[in-house]
Amino acid sequence: MHIAIIGAGNIGGALAQGWAKKGHRIFFGVKDPVSFESNPRLTTYQCLLVYWVVL
């Protein structure tokens, strides 16, 4: 399943980790992709993709 999450904070990150462990493909919409890529908790799974969005 493909799942999109807006925001990669505590809640979005926790949801993504659980779904990624089950094999789902996760798409994040974040304001700052650089800070996302430096977060080892969220970049553990290869199925996490990041898209920059303007809010």
* pLDDT above 70 (res 22): yes
Backbone torsions φ then ψ of 48, nearest 5 degrees: -85, 120
CB contact at 8 A, 16 and 48: yes
pLDDT averaged over the chain?
77
Considering only residues 39 and 25, tell me which one the structure prediction assigns the higher pLDDT.
25
Q: Domain-by-domain residue ranges, the chain?
A: 2-52
CATH value of 2-52 in 3.40.50.10420, 3.90.550.10, 3.40.50.720, 3.50.50.60: 3.40.50.720
For the question of whether the overall pTM of this predicted structure is more than 0.75, the answer is: no
| pLDDT tier at 1, thresholds 50, 70, 90 | confident
How much is the pLDDT for 14? 87
* pLDDT above 70 (res 46): no
